[in-house]
Amino acid sequence: MLQKLFKFKGGVKPAYNKHQSVGTPIATAPLPSRLVIPLHQSIGGTPQPVVAVGDKVLKGQLIGAADGWISAAVHASTSGTVTDIGPYLVPHPSGLSIDCVVIEPDGEERWIERQPLDYRAMAPEAVRTYLQQSGVVGLGGAVFPSHAKLTPSRDVPMEELVINGAECEPWITCDDLIMRERAAEIVSGIGLFRDLLQPKRVLIGIEDNKPEAVAAMKAAVQTAGEPFEVLAVPTLYPAGGAKQLIRVLTGKEIPAAKRSTDLGVQCFNVATAWTAWRAVAHGEPVINRIVTLTGNAGKPRNWEVLIGTPMDQLLPLAEPAPDTDGVIMGGPMMGFLIPAPDVPVIKATNCLIAHSPTLFPPKPPEMPCIRCGECARACPQELQPFELYWWSRARNFGKTQEYSLFDCIECGCCSYVCPAHIPLVQYFRFSKSEIWAREKDKKMAEGAKDRFEFKQYREEREKAEKAEKLAKAAAAQAAKKAAEAAAAAGSEASPAPPADDPEAAKKAAIAAAMARAKAQRAAVQPRNTDSVSPDQAEEIAAIDARRQQAGLEPPAPSPEPAPAAAPDGKEA
C-alpha cells in the first residue's frame, strides 16, 4: 500500500543549484597544518578540556568531556601535540570567540585503540551514554546531542521514527552524496535508532529531486531486510525542516508549546545515523564530516573534512574564482557569512559557498512595508511576518511574543518573497536576541535581589544569635557568683538557676547580694557599751529588737553587765 503524503502550508521554490557538486564522488581532504577544535560545538553545556598544552594526543582521543546530560564530548581529529588552549574565533553570526584546543598534527594519523560495540547486549542507557561520549550530535544543522533525543518518552509511546534526507536548502549536497555512497551504513544506524526508541514505523523522507539517493536507500533497506519505508517527498523549501517533514510524512502538526516526542514522533538526519553507526561498529568518535564546497568555484565537490580544519586551507580545494569576496557557511536561505577566512570547520558545517557579487548580487534598498501579505502566504509556520516586523521595528517585544515570534524557524521564506526587500528574518533575530537579553538581565536582577534579602536575613540571624550568647554568658556568670557567695556565707543557697532563664538569674544575683551584706554585718565587732548606763543599754537593746523584727539587721550582742565589786572595795 502506498504511503499517503500530506502538505504543509507555505514554502518557496528557489533555484537549487545542486547539480554543480554532485558530479564527482566524496573525496578526503588533506591534513591541514593545524587544527583548531572548538570545545563547544553543540547545544547544551560547554565540554571541559581534559588535555593540557604540550600533551601528545592520538586520533580520536577525548579532549573535551561532556558537561551535563545535554552536552556531547569533543575529540582530537588527528594525532599530534596540543599547542594552545584558549579563545579563538569560530564560525558564528555573533563573531565571538570561544575556547578551542589547537593541535599541531604529526602526520602519523595514529588512532586510539578502537573496538566495535555490541549494543544489543547492552542496556539502552549504556548505549546512549556511549553515543554521548562519542560526540554524536545532529548533523542536519541543529547539532542537538543525539543521545538525549534517543530517550523515549515514558508517557507517550513512540509511533514513528522519521529519518530526514530531504536536504531542501539550495547548493547543499552532502546528504545526497552520503546517501548515494554510504547507504548501507546509514540503514544500520537507523536500525540502531530503531532499537533504542522502539517505534512502530520507520519513515525515510527524501526530496524527489534526488532520485539516485532514493534508489540507493531503497536498495540498502531491501538488502538489510529492514521494514523501513523510503518515501520521495515533493521538492519544496523548507521540506527539510523537522516539523515540515513530520507533517508531510505523518500528517501530524507539532504545536508550538510541544515537542515531536509529545506526539510520538522523533526525527534524525541521515548523516547523524551514519556517524552513530561509525561510533558503534568501528569505535570512531565524531572527528570528521562531509562538507559541500561550491558557489563561485571552479571545482565544486563534497569532501570528508576533519573537524577543526581552518576554512582558508579547505576552500582552495574548490578553486574559488578571483572575485570571491566571502564565504557563506550553510545555504543561502539560512546560512551566514563567516567572520574570518581562517575559522575552523565544526560539526555544524555542512556547506561552504564561495560568495561573489555576481553570484549573489546585493539586495535592493529596503522599502516601506505595503502589507501585501506575501510573507504570510509563504510562511511554513503559518505566522504573520508583517505584524512581527512592525512590532520588532517598534521594539515592542511583548507584542512580538503575542504573535508567536519564537515559532519562527528563520527559514527565510518571508524575506525571499518580500517585494519591499525587507530583511524580515534579521528583524526577527534581533527581537529574539533582545528578549533573551532582557530575560537574562531579569534573572540576574532577581538573583541579586535574592542574594540581598538573604544577606539581610543572615545579618539579623547573626545579631540574634550573638545577643542570645551574651545573655547566656551573663546568666551563667551571675549564677556562678551567687553560688560562690552562698558557699562563702555558709548559708543554704537554692540551686543555681538554669543558664537560659534571665529572670531567675536576676533573682539569684539579688539574693546573693543580700547574703553578702548580712555576712558583712555579722562580721562587725560588737558595740563598745562599757560607758553606757543601764537605762541606755536597755534602750539600745529595744532598738535592736525592733530592727530585727523589721528584718534590717541581726541584733547586736547585748552589753555585758558591770563586774561586781570585790569585798575589799576593789574591782576584780
SS (H, E, C) 293-322: EEECECCCEEEEEECCCEHHHHHHHHCECC
Quote the CA–CA distance of 47 and 59 in Å, as a whole number.
Answer: 18
As to burial, measured by CB atoms within 10 angstroms (0-12 exposed, 13-18 middle, 19+ buried), residue 487 is: exposed
Residue 143 is classified by DSSP as -
DSSP code for 68: S
Angle between helices 174-181 and 211-224 (to 10 degrees): 40
Helices (H), 57-182: 124-133, 146-149, 174-181
The domain covering 136-284 belongs, at the CATH homologous superfamily level, to: NADH-ubiquinone oxidoreductase 51kDa subunit (3.40.50.11540)
Distance of CA 550 to the CA centre of its chain: 83
Q: Which of 259, 266, 253, 264 is nearest to 158 (CA)?
A: 264
Distance (Å, whole) CA 341 – CA 313: 9
With a cut of 70, list the residues of the chain below it in pLDDT: 1-2, 490-506, 516-537, 540, 547-572
Name the residue type at position 172. I
pLDDT tens readout for residues 514-568: 776 666 665 544 555 555 566 666 776 777 777 666 555 544 444 444 444 444 4
Q: Which residues make beta-bridge pairs with 233? A: 207
Say which residues have a Cβ less than 8 Å from residue 67's Cβ, sequence separation at least 6: 44, 45, 46, 47, 48
Residues 6+ apart with CB under 8 A from 115: 283
* Cβ neighbours around 326 below 10 Å, total: 15
Helix (H, G, I), strand (E, B) or coil at 31: coil
- pTM > 0.85: yes or no: no
What pLDDT is stored for residue 562 in this prediction? 46
Task: Tell me the β-bridge partners of 49.
Answer: 64
Task: State how far the Cα of 380 lies from the Cα of 550, in Å rounded to an integer.
Answer: 106
- Tally of CB atoms within 10 A around 72: 31
pLDDT per residue as tens digits for the range 109-167: 999 999 999 999 999 999 999 999 999 999 987 899 999 999 988 889 999 999 999 99
Q: Read off the C-alpha cell for 440.
A: 537574562
Closest by alpha carbon to 496, among 476, 516, 474?
A: 476
Q: Is the dihedral of CA 256, 257, 261, 266 positive or negative?
A: positive
Contact yes or no for 305/288 (Cβ under 8 A): yes
Query: What is the Cβ-side half-sphere exposure of residue 66, based on CA atoms within 13 angstroms?
Result: 21
Q: 517527498: which residue's cell?
A: 233
| Angle at CA of residue 242, ends 281 and 229, nearest 5° | 60
- Sequence-distant (≥ 6) Cβ neighbours of residue 2 within 8 angstroms: none
- Closest C-alpha to 171, from 303, 350, 45: 350
- What would the grid cell of residue 337 be? 557569512
E strands of 53-190, at which residues? 56-57, 62-65, 74-75, 80-89, 97-105, 160-164
Q: Which among 413, 303, 363, 557 has a CA at the least distance from the CA of 9?
A: 413
In three-state secondary structure terms, 492 is coil
Give me the residue spans of the domains in the chain: 136-284, 369-473
What pLDDT does 495 receive? 53
Q: Are 493 and 482 in contact (CB under 8 A)?
A: yes
The CA distance from 332 to 548, in Å, is 114
